[in-house]
Structure 1
Amino acid sequence: MRGSRTEHEGVLADLLTRVRYEVIPTPSIEEKVLAAVPRHLTVTVTASPAKGLEATLALTERLRAHGYRTVPHLSARLIRDEVHLAEIVDRMCRAGVEDVFVPAGDADPPAGRYDAALPVLAELTRAGRPFRRVGITGYPESHPAIGDDLTVQAMWDKRVHAGYIVSNLCFDPAALATWIARIRRRGVILPVQLGVAGPVETAKLLATATRIGVGESTRFLTTHTSWFARLARPGGYSPERLLRRTTRMLAGPGSGVVGLHLFTFNQVAEAERWRQRQLGELCGRSAAHVGSTRSGR
């Protein structure tokens, strides 16, 4: 039993060393990242209809210049056409970007001809796969507008163009385990970056959501009310509790979970303090276990 617990804690420690921090391109976020996030960690930059792709691309370029591995979110519904996509690809390649994340995005109506991620992914493949890695979205909990069968089918359709999946926010360990098992049974074998909400303060989360833009914030709040309820409830959510309740699934040989994608809502200093604290506690327990095992001999 203790060996099993030690193994699970080793899995958690490993995942905590392979974290991606998702940030929103607000005016102050560059300074916050520089102050709090180690250069060896990956930072992903969201895209929104309110800000457009320019804010995403510009922040990606600046963070790359500072030495970060940076992943722009190339929301399909914000890309006008093949010419616009080619310009984006050229710009990101010149910045040294090797990894992009391609969601459909929320722009309604779309900015141009792309209304889903798959056509953009196919276009990147036709262009010779200019990026070493390409990520797509997975939905452990139901998408507000798309049925579960369709989201799993979409991952199957995209698998030939992508290298990994980023799971959307989920607060239910059972839902995560069920989703992982389901996509593996379907034959989707892409590695998964597990999407987890960071240790956010609800008041700051609401303020950040408001700064994204009035229209998008309204849509975000109305379609994700359960997230806010769970984040706001005393004792209702902590990232470490969620991870500990999923360690059995994460440690399973077929899970394919290779890292954590932390939704920081721009609270990057809090996220990095939490990560360091969790690593310290896990390493401390591991050392104590080794010591007790040796003295038992």
Structure 2
Amino acid sequence: MRNKSATRATLVRLLEHARYEVLPTASAEDTLLEHVPRDREITVTASPSKGLEATFELAERLAGHGYPVVPHLAARMVRDRAELAEIAERLTGKGITRIFIPGGDAEAVGDYPDALALLEDLQHVGSPFDHVGITGYPESHPTIPDDLTVQSMWDKRRHATHIVSNLTFDPDVIRAWVHRMRGRGITMPLLLGIPGPVDRTKLLAMATRIGVGESTRFLNKHKGTFARLAAPGGFTGQRFLEQCAPTLAEPGALVEGLHVFTFNQIPATEAWRTEQLDRLRG
């Protein structure tokens, strides 16, 4: 009984602290305003096909509506320290104090071949952001050995405030990764990355809208992910979360919330989250 109660409490806590990742499409702003309360944290991806401007414009508009917003600043899409300083001044000038820094899928356009290089340069422009997120890889990265991904998090720990895990569908992978990461002394809080509920047809339409080249890269890099998400009935994450709950409830796990990859299925994602909370609280 105690285990069930602890699991329920953990799931409620994570769902209450869930943030939504959205793609910077033309309809994203209106859809969020219609379906998502203003206290929900929103992250905006950086698309090589659209450029950083689309990310920043949507993030600024959402911040203006009162959302806590987290633009993605893909390192390889930034030229140099001068541009980084301009970006920081622009975003903080709009009240944006949170940032997420992945390496990004694009070829490097300037001085930053990876996230660490940009993170280090943020110090030279005054460490302007209060919250800085970095990527964690529970699954093997397609181009980086596992030992190097853990080492990378260790190297970044002085420049970041939290880790956002990439997608995985295996609770055993999450368990092993969290234990290994914490055993290595990486103690930053973690946001667990999960997919929201995805409709097969809408996912295919979204893949088309984000650009043919980028869609191809995504599908080649995440064939297994796409197959699971595009299966009839979609994937809600309920069972996955329940299976992960014992690990996530461990005091040393330091899992603060969820990072939900919505694929812009925004109404369905918010409906799923609130339904799960109602069920767990009832």
Q: TM-score range by the shorter chain?
A: over 0.9
- Report the TM-score, using the length of structure 2 for normalisation: 0.98
- Residue 84 of structure 1, CA deviation: 0.8
One-letter amino acid of the counterpart of residue 94, structure 1? G
* Counterpart in the other structure of 2:169: 171
- Report the TM-score, using the length of structure 1 for normalisation: 0.93
Instruction: Report the Cα distance in structure 2 between the residues aligned to 1:147 and 1:102, rounded to whole angstroms.
Output: 20
Instruction: Report the Cα distance in structure 2 between the residues aligned to 1:133 and 1:207, rounded to whole angstroms.
Output: 33
Question: Secondary structure of 1:161's match?
Answer: coil
- Residue 278 of structure 1, CA deviation: 0.2
* Counterpart in the other structure of 2:100: 101
What pairs with 1:186-265 in structure 2 (closer than 5 Å)? 186-234=184-232, 237-265=235-263
Q: CA RMSD in A?
A: 1.1
Structure with bigger helix share is 1
Instruction: Report the Cα distance in structure 2 between the residues aligned to 1:60 and 1:273, rounded to whole angstroms.
Output: 23
Instruction: Report the Cα distance in structure 1 between the residues aligned to 2:233 and 2:34, rounded to whole angstroms.
Output: 29
Count of residues in Structure 1 that have an aligned counterpart in Structure 2: 282
* Counterpart in the other structure of 2:60: 61
- Cα deviation 1:163-198 (Å, max 9, x = unaligned): 000000111110011110111111110000100000
- Residue 127 of structure 1, CA deviation: 2.3
Instruction: Report the Cα distance in structure 2 between the residues aligned to 1:157 and 1:263, rounded to whole angstroms.
Output: 26
- Residue 236 of structure 1, CA deviation: 7.7
Give the number of the structure whose alpha-carbon radius of gyration is greater.
Answer: 1
* Counterpart in the other structure of 2:87: 88
One-letter amino acid of the counterpart of residue 273, structure 1? A
* Counterpart in the other structure of 1:51: 50
Question: Secondary structure of 1:262's match?
Answer: strand
Instruction: Report the Cα distance in structure 2 between the residues aligned to 1:174 and 1:105, rounded to whole angstroms.
Output: 27
Question: Secondary structure of 2:157's match?
Answer: helix
Instruction: Report the Cα distance in structure 2 between the residues aligned to 1:230 and 1:39, rounded to whole angstroms.
Output: 31
Compared CA separation, residues 237 and 269, structure 1 to 2 (3 A): closer
Listed as ranges, the gaps of 5+ residues in structure 2 are: none
Q: Residues 202 and 228 of structure 1 are in contact (CA less than 8 Å); yes or no, is this contact kept in structure 2?
A: no
Q: Residues 189 and 255 of structure 2 are in contact (CA less than 8 Å); yes or no, is this contact kept in structure 1?
A: yes
* Counterpart in the other structure of 1:6: 5
Instruction: Report the Cα distance in structure 1 between the residues aligned to 2:67 and 2:267, rounded to whole angstroms.
Output: 16
One-letter amino acid of the counterpart of residue 100, structure 1? I
